[in-house]
């Protein structure tokens, strides 16, 4: 039997990049996976079609994580379709990188709404449908612990909020047998931070291993945290950054 056989998962921001890799690995381990997307309906349809082609059930849900009602609706739709949620992966996020004095209040609100509030709202909604052995896994950033260069103030602020949230929620849900963990990636080759981007060489200088990580690296860690083998791990932030924060 596969590690996640008969499990129901919901991944936010699951149509591309790390999210799509997480969706695919969870499904490969036997989970039935629903995932949200905001833009890029074609990519979402492609991910769903790939899973269907492998005989795996999935559900693509259009939902803007900046809208709390859409986040709750995605949880409700998953439960209506599959009966419950065993695994929630809070992956959706944005990064606005610019000089501190140039940030707008709109950018602040959008960043905090997607990177922090959506995690709170989605976790709260999903927890109502979770039983013993369920998992809540959130994708943060190694920048919550160390900001090695300029222009990341707002992003780091939004991701650092997840550290305390993760610890508190693990206490609240621990008595119910639900684990809560935080994954903090470093430079990963995605559309948001491509390995051939304008700032990639500068970032490589801070990476002990000297190269960007792959989306599959993150997906593998998330899959482990979703599996039975991680049952005694909770309230923990695991940094996976190739030594960026060493």
**DSSP letters along 134-168, please?**
-EEEEE--GGGT---STT-HHHHHHHHHHHHHHHH
Q: Which two structure tokens, joined as six digits, stand for 20?
A: 């799509």
4 CB neighbour count, 10 Å cutoff: 24
Rounded to 10 deg, the angle between the 17-28 and 41-53 helix axes is: 20
Percentage helix, strand, coil, to 5, in the chain? 45, 15, 40
Active site includes 151?
no
> Residue 80's closest CA among 19, 26, 8?
8
Q: Which two structure tokens, joined as six digits, stand for 58?
A: 């999935």
121 CB neighbour count, 10 Å cutoff: 20
Cα 219 to chain centroid distance, Å, stands at 9
Provide the 3-class DSSP secondary structure of residue 210: coil
Please pick, among 37, 108, 151, 155, the residue that the annotation labels catalytic. Answer: 155
Phi-psi label, residue 168: left if phi above 0, alpha if psi -120 to 50, beta otherwise: alpha
Q: How far is Cα 61 from Cα 42, in angstroms, rounded to an integer?
A: 12
Q: Are 215 and 160 in contact (CB under 8 A)?
A: no
Torsion on CA atoms 207, 210, 215, 221, rounded to nearest 10: -60
Just list the catalytic residues: 155
């Amino acid at each position: 039997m596969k590690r996640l056989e008969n499990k129901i998962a919901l991944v936010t921001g699951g149509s591309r990049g790390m999210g799509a890799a997480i969706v695919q690995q969870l499904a490969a381990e036997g989970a039935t996976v629903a995932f949200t997307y905001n833009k890029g309906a074609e990519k979402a349809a492609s991910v769903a079609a790939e899973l269907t082609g492998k005989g795996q059930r999935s559900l693509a849900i259009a939902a803007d994580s900046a809208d709390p009602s859409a986040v709750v609706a995605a949880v409700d739709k998953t439960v209506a379709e599959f009966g419950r949620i065993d695994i929630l992966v809070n992956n959706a996020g944005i990064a606005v990188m610019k000089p501190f004095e140039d940030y707008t209040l709109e950018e602040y609100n959008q960043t905090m709404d997607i990177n922090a509030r959506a995690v709170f709202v989605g976790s709260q909604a999903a927890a109502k449908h979770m039983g013993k052995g369920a998992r809540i896994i959130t994708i943060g950033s190694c920048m919550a612990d160390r900001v090695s260069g300029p222009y990341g103030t707002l992003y780091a602020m939004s991701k650092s909020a997840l550290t305390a949230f993760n610890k508190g929620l693990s206490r609240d849900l621990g008595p119910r047998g639900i684990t809560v963990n935080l994954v903090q990636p470093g430079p990963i080759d995605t559309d948001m931070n491509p390995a051939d981007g304008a700032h990639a060489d500068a970032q490589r200088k801070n990476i002990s291993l000297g190269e960007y990580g792959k989306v599959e690296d993150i997906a593998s860690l998330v899959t482990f945290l979703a599996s039975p083998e991680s049952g005694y791990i909770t309230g923990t932030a695991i940094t996976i950054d190739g030594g960026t924060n060493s």
